[in-house]
Amino acid sequence: MPPASILLVFVTVAVAMEVLPDAAVFGGEGKSLTLTLERTSHNGVEMSQLRDRDRVRHVRFLQQQLTGVVDFQVEGTYDPFIVGLYYTKVKLGTPPKEFYVQIDTGSDVLWVSCNSCNGCPTSSGLQIQLEFFDPTSSSTASLISCSDRRCDLGTQSSDSLCSSQNQCGYRFQYGDGSGASGFYASDLMYFDTIIGNSLASNSSAPIIFGCSTSQTGDLTKMDRAVDGIFGFGQQGFSVVSQLSSQGITPNVFSHCLKGGNGGGGILVLGQIVEPNLVYTPLVPSQPHYNLNLQSIAVNGQILPIDPAVFQTSNNRGTIIDSGTTLAYLSEEAYDPFVNAITQTVSQSVRPLVSKGIQCYLTTSSVSEIFPPASLNFAGGASMLLKPEDYLLQQNSISGAAVWCIGFQKLQGQGITILGDLVLKDKIVVYDLAGQRIGWANYNCSSSVHVSTSTSNGKTEFFNAGQIDNGSSRLDYYEMIPTIVLAFSLHVLSLWWHIYIL
């Protein structure tokens, strides 16, 4: 090695050791990191094969060490009179292209509208620019064939199809009667990754997603049109599962959907940490996020509802679904719930029925006169509901506000669906590794702490709320260790290619 190169590498590594935290250079807690030297016999193996093998090993090593948190900005609101959905942006392809997609915990697959799509809107009432994905315009895109073993994963999430061109296809049917169909593609997804207190912008990973060539029902309407749907389910084709299996993120995601002041919120592939979180187990072997709801209380009084109404069985039970705007109760639970609320406030408001929905006319603040409610789940976890979590303001009459029950009645289906009306203004953590879901009431305009996995095995916390502001995302000085380390690795890589290869 030339003396100048030796000096450069020495100085670079020395600077890195000076600037990086102890845990990043040593073993943490002052313990040195010991590497065992192993001598490999060639036995006729080419050097290029050894290098390829080492590269794979190094990628795995870095993935195990640097599992982080992926942050998404959130737009939209639960209010059906404004938007009625929450959405985010994803970047796909090379060069990367941005797509607006609805956040949906009730489905599994990320899909976007593709070129030559039949029924896909070309403009949106949300004042966003709609785009179409074209696999031929991305240098890193590839199509999934029917013979590809990964195509089998699609059967977990949709009706699988096989086109005459041997393309692995899908057909989704949603609860509102809308649908989408197309084919699966693989391409790079770009995102911001938080590792410790450092931000790696424009990280990327290959993922499989849907390329929709046909849409039906409400998906064809322009008023709330987005580019696609971002499924956050548990199946193998969900982005959460794909990034977790690659070691990029932990097998957990969290959101905090803001209810008022224009909506928005926080969405991370990672675990939001909050002392008041309570958890309940997921019902195993279910296609959705099913929970064991055991009872409902209004103003502290348990309602006379047969617990069998909430039991999970075939297509029955309680589901958490961010793709649903309102909330739904089975008939056996809906009537006692509404009656209890009406009886509690009968002296303070004027009850009225509008289009078959129980409403109330009042000049007072609903938080002062309407009772709290709670949904009580297995494991002792209760979801506390403020009046704004079960009421919707519709209009006014002679200066009095009209508030209506936001929960809807599902007759003869035995299903309870907790949508954005209930999920807003709460931290919700989907711990897929632990098979549980947790929540806590929270001001989603505030920042949150996020648990990140770092190389020293410690838990650190990051203010994810600042990330979503989109301004100064991280303090410059917090990024110095990452910058120095990246520069050091870059210099070593150049030296390796020039003098070794």
Catalytic residues: 104, 321
Residues 488 and 14: their CA atoms lie apart, in Å, by 10
Contact 70, 191 (CB under 8 A): yes
What is the chain's alpha carbon radius of gyration, rounded to the nearest angstrom?
A: 26
Angle between helices 476-499 and 3-19 (to 10 degrees): 150
Token representation of residue 288: 């959705």
Contact 374, 297 (CB under 8 A): yes
Residues 138 and 126: their CA atoms lie apart, in Å, by 27
Please report, for residues 22, 296, 310, 380, the alpha-carbon distance to residue 293 in angstroms, rounded to integers and kept in the order given.
47, 8, 6, 10
Determine how β-strand 373-377 pairs with β-strand 415-418.
unpaired
Residue 32's φ and ψ, nearest 5 degrees, are -75, 150
Q: What is the DSSP string of 271-284?
A: EEE-TT-EEEEBPT
Nearest to 233 by CA among 381, 103, 87: 103
Q: Reading across the β-sheet that carries 391-397, which strands appear in turn?
A: 350-354, 357-362, 400-405, 391-397
Q: Angle at CA 275, nearest 5°, toward 104 and 264?
A: 35
| Element holding 377 (H helix, E strand) | strand 373-377
Give the N- to C-terminal CA distance of the chain in Å, as an integer: 13
